[in-house]
Structure 1
Amino acid sequence: MPRRSWVHRVSKGWAAATLTAVAPSLFFWVIWTLTGDYGSRSYLSMSSGSCLGWDIYDQISPWAYPVKAVPLFSYGGAPLIVLGFAGWYLSVRRGRAGLGRIIGRCVAVVLLVLDLPLFLLPTLDAALGPACEAMWGPPELLSRQIGWGLYDCLPPILVLLAVRAPRRAFVRRGPVVRTAAAVLAVTAVVLVPAASASPGKVSTERELDCAGFGDGTVKGLSETDKRFLCAVRGYDRPYDSGVEGWDEVSDQDVVAQGRQLCALATRHGGDIHARAVQEAPQASLANMLAGLCPAVTRARQAEAGRQQAEEDAYVAKKERACAAHPRHRPKIRPVRQRRATLWAEFWTIGGEEDGYEGDPPELVENLVGTGRGTLAIWAADEIGHACVTVESYTRRPPLETGGWEEVVEVGYESPTGSLQLYGVDGPVLKDLITRGPGSYRVRVHLRGRKLVYQVAYPPDGAVELLVQVFPGTAKRPVAYK
């Protein structure tokens, strides 16, 4: 081959290597210019265990990244390739073609040392199995990693081809070489376009229509996928920022990771607390899986049903204990008498009339307190239940102190005549007032307080209350016992 033609061919090889190296940067620059989105996305890897490829990558990345940050290696190594071409050209001009080949090979080796691990290491872990593959993130991210790693190896390979020694005669390559070249070409055709595809969109709350106002513009996602993304990003929780580490991960990657975690949870009966689920790289998504994963939804419904059954059985047991107490036999016939098991939170059960809700009144003798349209009665040691009997009268009933530990009577002003008594759980006892708005007296009888304070786990139905409401104009509280 004439010397001039050979130099021209090699120069085109160097130019091809330079353009190949700088092409991705130009591509994303054009994308950024047109859309304002450079396409950069981050992914938080939360993994456990050990995989060969990832372990090697973890060891070499602390020194590899600072080296690649040197301007000489920017733009895919294009400055180094240009510098190597200048050294090769000067060597050839001075008749030292061998030195030029050494310079070219050194450039190629340096770039391959920096770029080849980014292709080989994730490929190795992908071959070792799903657990190691997950160390590198979602499948889409792994594909891009392998694709770009392979693409980054093309410029140094083009340099090596460009500086190879010229042959005087055509030599037909063997079948192994031809097969290897074909495989590399096909791999590049398949993986590089996938790697250069858009890294994915991170949709806004409005685009996902998390509020349900019909503003959603996102295409290609099911309603289930959208609800899952709303939960992960915290769009459906006014005071929650979502799952940490996933706010900049693309919609497709988040959904893909959620479905992988769903498959793992399904194999464990929908239990997101299973060890395999909690140790998965994307375990932080587990609490958001219910809307995306039917198995998790069914497991949660079953657990909620079990807890509700336990709660119902617990309440029923307390109610049976209260029902076992003998009924109060009043001295005179009341207008109404009702019994109920009421549950207290923060010591008291409450009474109120429509439009008079507010802070509970201060208790007299730590038992009963009233305000205009409001009533409060001690019923438990902070949290618990009481067996309550309520009696409404049209006149003052006879005083009863026998069998009761405490008896206190207070005045009550009814603005509407609609007083009702209630706890944090249990029925609401209505119509305590018999003669409409006006002045009344409320007499409260109690037994069981001493037992509650003395015993860590008092028996069911330990606290009994008898509440009598009757007309009366007196305002002064009276403690009878």
Structure 2
Amino acid sequence: MPRRSWVLWAAAALTAVAPALLFWVVSVVTGDDGSRTYITMFQRSCLGWDIHNQILLWVYPVKAFPLFSYGGAPLIVLGFVGWCLSLRGGRAGLGRILGRCVAVVLLALGLPDFLLPTLDVALGPVCLDAWGPPERFSTQIAWGLYDCVAPVLVLFAVRVPRRAYIRRGPVIRTTAAVLAVTAVVLLPAASAPPGRVSGERELDCAGFGDGTVTGLSAADKRFLCTVRGHDRPYDLGVEGWDEVSDQDVLAQGRHLCALATRHGGDIAARAVSEAPQASLAGALADLCPAVAGAQQAEADRRQAESDAYVAQKERACAAHPRHRPKVLPVRQRRATMWTEFWTIDGWEEGYEGEGDPPDLVEDLVGGGRGTLAIWAADEVGHACVTAESYTRRPPPETRGWEEVVEVGYESPTGALALSDGDGTRLRGLTTRGPGSYRVRVHLRGRELVYQVAYPPDGAVELLVQVFPGTAKKPVVYK
């Protein structure tokens, strides 16, 4: 194995990885991760810029693949291993082919960053505004040239040195391959109509199958629908992007997706949240699998936490002894009920939210026509509720309860049910259909809730007894 080739392979790998190492050192020393992105609202059609926006759709996902990280250093190392094994096996030609393939791939990824701005410069100064300020344009040209150094070193590493001048067949073939790959990638993109801003019907945002836009994936269309505010009623979309062309929106979305993918799909990562196109992050899950996966994982985690939290409170309520009434009720129901506004409510169909909620007697229970309210928590919390229905008045019970209050209630439909903010309903409380009833509420645990910021699970217990009665005045037993 020639020493010259070893040195060139090593130089190629170091050249590829050097920028990443430099940026890492700078970020450690200064605390700046070096993420800088330029966004433009350039609307003119320029060949180089239009092609650049099209190839972003596939270049950034490819560059995000681990094999192409660190400037393609892993790919260069892999090619070097293949070259070494080929030489040891006596198949030098195969080694040269592997090295040239590595170089062609890296050149195909790096050359557009140099060639496309140069193309627009050649076409005239008008299109330079698309590439940003002069310093950014110069930086892109410089990095585009730098990215070509490593693959060129690989080509020299696998080249067989000859003392006499001969026709450079392998070099010519390699150059032709690079040009062919570039043409395959760039020419279809150049034929795409620039500046198109598709409407709601064209994108088929409603899902009725009447879309007319072609050449876009379902994910692309969903992303555009969300950005333009067509995906749900009353959504105004992402401000500032409604007049930007489809290809520019998708290109910037792909760029933001690449940033988020490098940070595990986290759109709250600093590199994503500080990017110029960060306003697109809210719609990025439609376009970016990494973001969608991260958001789904977070939603699953939160749901699991919520389920575990609710289960813990329900176990605490279930641990309380069941109430043993002095008179057998028609039915008895138990439930853990939740509130975010102090009370759990009783409603009958057609009377939900009708009028003002009833005033609470002794800040415990209030009844009206078709409406009932029972205190359950200090604004937000849960209570262990037992509801009992009777056909006649049960004897009062005060022992073991801190508060006992009874009020009148008028049932217009005979179908009173207690409801909480979590969807739990205790039905069948009125036993004789429409008419006059009394509601007696027993409570313990209120003082503990007021005394500590985080009371024990199941601290509030409520016993609600509903029975026929025509009396209107409230009665405070305790």
Q: TM-score range by the shorter chain?
A: 0.5 to 0.7
| DSSP 3-state at the match of 1:417 | coil
How far apart, CA to CA, are the structure 2 residues paired with 1:116 and 1:421?
68
Q: Which amino acid aligns with 1:394?
A: T
User: Which residue in 2 is equivalent to 1:207?
Assistant: 202
How far apart, CA to CA, are the structure 2 residues paired with 1:357 and 1:244?
38
Q: Which amino acid aligns with 1:245?
A: G
Q: CA deviation at 1:304?
A: 0.5
User: Which residue in 1 is equivalent to 2:460?
Assistant: 463
Q: CA deviation at 1:285?
A: 1.2
Indicate yes or no: 2:268 matched with 1:268: no
User: Which residue in 1 is equivalent to 2:393?
Assistant: 396
1:291 corresponds, among 267, 286, 290, to: 286
How far apart, CA to CA, are the structure 2 residues paired with 1:231 and 1:288?
6
User: Which residue in 1 is equivalent to 2:336?
Assistant: 341
User: Which residue in 1 is equivalent to 2:366?
Assistant: 369
Retained in 1: the 8 A contact 2:219–2:287? yes
Indicate yes or no: 2:298 matched with 1:303: yes
Retained in 1: the 8 A contact 2:194–2:247? no
How far apart, CA to CA, are the structure 2 residues paired with 1:127 and 1:266?
26
TM-score by length of 1: 0.61
String of CA shifts for 1:392-451, please: whole Å, max 9, x gaps.
111111111112121111111222221111110153111111222222111001111122
How far apart, CA to CA, are the structure 2 residues paired with 1:327 and 1:50?
62
Q: CA deviation at 1:306?
A: 0.3
User: Which residue in 2 is equivalent to 1:446?
Assistant: 443
2:383 corresponds, among 380, 383, 386, to: 386
User: Which residue in 2 is equivalent to 1:427?
Assistant: 424
User: Which residue in 2 is equivalent to 1:105?
Assistant: none
Q: Which amino acid aligns with 1:364?
A: V
Q: Greater CA deviation, 235-244 or 377-386?
A: 235-244
| DSSP 3-state at the match of 1:260 | helix
Q: 1:50 to 1:455 in 2, by over 3 A?
A: closer
**Paired positions, count:** 322
Q: 1:220 to 1:267 in 2, by over 3 A?
A: same
| DSSP 3-state at the match of 2:426 | coil
Q: 1:113 to 1:329 in 2, by over 3 A?
A: closer
Q: 1:116 to 1:212 in 2, by over 3 A?
A: closer
Indicate yes or no: 2:466 matched with 1:472: no
User: Which residue in 2 is equivalent to 1:33?
Assistant: none
Retained in 2: the 8 A contact 1:441–1:472? yes
Retained in 2: the 8 A contact 1:340–1:426? no
How far apart, CA to CA, are the structure 2 residues paired with 1:459 and 1:377?
20
Q: 1:414 to 1:196 in 2, by over 3 A?
A: closer
String of CA shifts for 1:69-104, please: whole Å, max 9, x gaps.
xxxxxxxxxxxxxxxxxxxxxxxxxxxxxxxxxxxx
Q: 1:124 to 1:231 in 2, by over 3 A?
A: same
Q: Which amino acid aligns with 2:382?
A: H
Q: CA deviation at 1:114?
A: 7.7
User: Which residue in 2 is equivalent to 1:415?
Assistant: 412
Q: Greater CA deviation, 317-326 or 121-130?
A: 121-130
TM-score by length of 2: 0.61
String of CA shifts for 1:259-307, please: whole Å, max 9, x gaps.
2222232232222222222233322211111111112111111111100
How far apart, CA to CA, are the structure 1 residues paired with 2:191 and 2:318?
74
| DSSP 3-state at the match of 1:320 | helix
Alignment map for 1:60-99 (pairs within 5 Å): none
Retained in 1: the 8 A contact 2:228–2:236? yes
How far apart, CA to CA, are the structure 2 residues paired with 1:271 and 1:440?
56
Indicate yes or no: 2:215 matched with 1:220: yes
Q: CA deviation at 1:309?
A: 0.6
Alignment map for 1:9-88 (pairs within 5 Å): none
How far apart, CA to CA, are the structure 2 residues paired with 1:249 and 1:392?
64
How far apart, CA to CA, are the structure 2 residues paired with 1:50 and 1:289?
19
How far apart, CA to CA, are the structure 2 residues paired with 1:199 and 1:113?
18
User: Which residue in 1 is equivalent to 2:234?
Assistant: 239
Retained in 1: the 8 A contact 2:331–2:388? yes
Q: Which amino acid aligns with 2:367?
A: T
How far apart, CA to CA, are the structure 2 residues paired with 1:414 and 1:278?
55
Q: 1:318 to 1:239 in 2, by over 3 A?
A: same
Q: Which amino acid aligns with 1:398?
A: P
Indicate yes or no: 2:249 matched with 1:254: yes
1:280 corresponds, among 275, 284, 295, to: 275
Retained in 2: the 8 A contact 1:411–1:473? yes
| DSSP 3-state at the match of 1:289 | helix
Q: CA deviation at 1:201?
A: 0.7
Indicate yes or no: 2:243 matched with 1:229: no
What are the ranges of 5 or more consecutive residues in structure 2 without an aligned counterpart?
1-32, 39-122, 148-178
Q: CA deviation at 1:222?
A: 2.0
Q: Percent identity?
A: 76
Retained in 2: the 8 A contact 1:341–1:426? no
| DSSP 3-state at the match of 2:235 | coil
Q: Greater CA deviation, 211-220 or 410-419?
A: 211-220
| DSSP 3-state at the match of 1:327 | coil
How far apart, CA to CA, are the structure 2 residues paired with 1:237 and 1:328?
49
String of CA shifts for 1:26-79, please: whole Å, max 9, x gaps.
xxxxxxxxxxxxxxxxxxxxxx9698x98xxxxxxxxxxxxxxxxxxxxxxxxx
Q: Which amino acid aligns with 1:314?
A: Y
Q: Which amino acid aligns with 2:138?
A: L
What are the ranges of 5 or more consecutive residues in structure 1 without an aligned counterpart?
1-47, 55-111, 134-185
| DSSP 3-state at the match of 1:397 | coil
